[in-house]
Structure 1
Amino acid sequence: MRYSNKLILLTLPTIALILVGESRITILSKEVKEKMEKLLNHINKPRIKSFQTEHGYILDCIDIRKQQAFDHPLLKNHSIKLKPTRIPKWTKYNNTSHKPRSLPFGQDDIKCPVGTVIVKRITLEDLIQAQHLKSLRQVSSMNKKIDLTGHHFATVKYNDYHYGAKGNINTWNPYVSPDQFSLAAMTITEKLQSISAGWIVYPGLHQNQSSLFTYWTADGNKMTRCYNALCPGFVHVSTKYAIGVPAKPVSVYGGRQYHLEVSIYQDHVTGDWWFSLRDEPIGYWPRSLFKSEGLADGASAVVWGGEVYSSVKEKSPSMGSGHFPQEGFKKAAYVNGLKVITDITRVVSSPTASSLKTSANSPNCYNVKKILGVGEYWSRAILFGGPGGCTF
């Protein structure tokens, strides 16, 4: 089955555009601009209701059955699921020591009507910058076949078979230049297929502030690599939580800490991979997007932590809070409450200490420290990050 002409544009590595040096002026030919505007009209589905936010972007309520996910050829006859068959029973936290606050993550009490989903309206600039971001290749450190030049990681990896995981991802707002990004996420992977969720700062795509993002690829970033709702595949179900919006408030150095309570898990009946915030289902990646030797039946690894990108000509940006893990809680970034679903019975457990392997490919600029403490928050956790300043 082939993609339509409109969808071909979404799978190309880049759109024919020129980014002009430091001026950041994007020059588009008349033909390309017309194609992109046509594509934009196709992506932004007819809205039933809209909300103008204080941050300048627009949130639309669209018919759940008409969302862009179903433009994917593998989802033409997909039956929508409004919720997972069963939500995993992640252990409730009963230890208040060093207890951060989970983001409520609402958009000013905005909620869409039943039968719709809430989405961030895509602009022409969003499309342009998304294509540029793809060229930067957010890759996740697990695929060693991909050129990692310009990418720096500070992560912990659980390298065993599982059906989902959870982590509380500390939110920060690091400064990055227009051609850089800095993120913190959880990534689940099998072979060349992976799905991710967390926060990212990339000025062109998110107005230079930390924003909720999702990402998936079905072929090691070759042809399918999609952020947020910029291409078909991810099925959105939430009426109140949109992807691509600011992750606020962010943490304060030495002060109040906030995190995104992220979980990604495979439905034991349908095989779909669900993404939730605070156990609130946001949406899912249908099983049909993935191959049997990939994420169709479980995964072999999960990674938590940070990644930054910078071109070889520019010093790398800060990661997390911009401080090394040795500074400790409230000063370094963290991911805590690490959990995995280890078998087909969907039993939730803490990963063993020996199964968690830390990795930092530029330790002079970023590092990671494994925490094996007490209580549900800190029995399995990491501190990570650093000030940056590396070049290749």
Structure 2
Amino acid sequence: MDFLISGITSITPQQIVMYVIGAVLIWLAINKDLEPVLLLPLGFGAILVNLPASGVLNQTLAGIGETNGIIEWLFNVGIEASEAMPLLLFIGIGAMIDFGPLLSNPKLFLFGAAAQFGIFAAIVVACFLGFDLKDAASIGIIGAADGPTSILVSQVLGSNYIGPIAVVAYSYMALVPIIQPMVIKLLTTKKERCIHMEYKPATVSKKAKIIFPIVVTFIAGLVAPMSVSLVGFLMFGNLLRECGVLNNLSDTAQNVLSNLVSLLLGITIAFSMKADTFVNKETLLIMLIGLAAFIFDTAAGVLFAKLMNLFSKEKINPMIGAAGISAFPMAARVVQKMALKEDPSNVLIMQATGTNVSGQIASVVAGGVILNVVASIL
């Protein structure tokens, strides 16, 4: 009976905070349907790793010796030692993406590039607030609105804040439908949000769709070699989709692989959410910097579209620029939903999707560039 009492009395205030955070994440996943495949295992994992003497963590027991906890083992093998889980998830993401709308309108690449501004702005802010370069760079990548990229970059750089970065990145990904509309409305007029964009798709051959992921991987590898794992796995997944001879593997990557890895990744990354390292002022700062990065990304995309309208005969709906963040396909859906709300006859989904997938490429390339630059400095 004493061991039951000692377990309860050994709970710290910081662990109670983590129980609350875990419960909130679970509530958002179930009640609000916000990225449940990510937030639910993340929230439950946060509770598991913060139970006193939790069996999911490695520990040494009298008379037994050292035992391996399943979550700590998964973290050591699947993330810390190899970054395997985030990379495997990129195969599934790549298999989901149709680059056709982007290839038929290549200028959408510009919006994806513009919407990465928040990454670099956040790095500067983080350095100004006292974070060292490797932590600042890891925090900045939250602006990519891409959870796997955030995890991979922070892990490779050896950041001290992998847990908070992962939670913030995934949380803001889930909150795209809440945050982005507020930023878009602040920067645009109703007239601008009602601009119609006729979709005139150019014919994209099967050969072009097959060559594209190979060429992107080759270029990324030359420009930013450390991005090869990120870009390469994303493009490999897309090649599975487009080659036409591996449909079963493509379907498996899109569904079974992506769901399984997302589930394991969510509960495994919770290892970094232990109360003693998570509940501190730095975590709060990371949340604020991450939010600022996300807002800067959205704003940069919208403002870039408005800038292009000054020189373009065919007007661009500025909301398209907001889809340049990497949160695929949520950002594209948000733009389409807002367009239909302003004008039920306005269909922007194809342009928004093209911009969204360009943001996916831009974010992983930006992650690789950051890894290369920081590695060369350090």
Name the TM-score, length of structure 2 as normaliser. 0.25
What TM-score comes out, normalization by structure 1 length?
0.24
Structure with the higher fraction of residues in strand conformation: 1
Q: Which has the higher contact order (CA 8 A, sep 6+)?
A: 2
> Which structure: larger Rg?
2
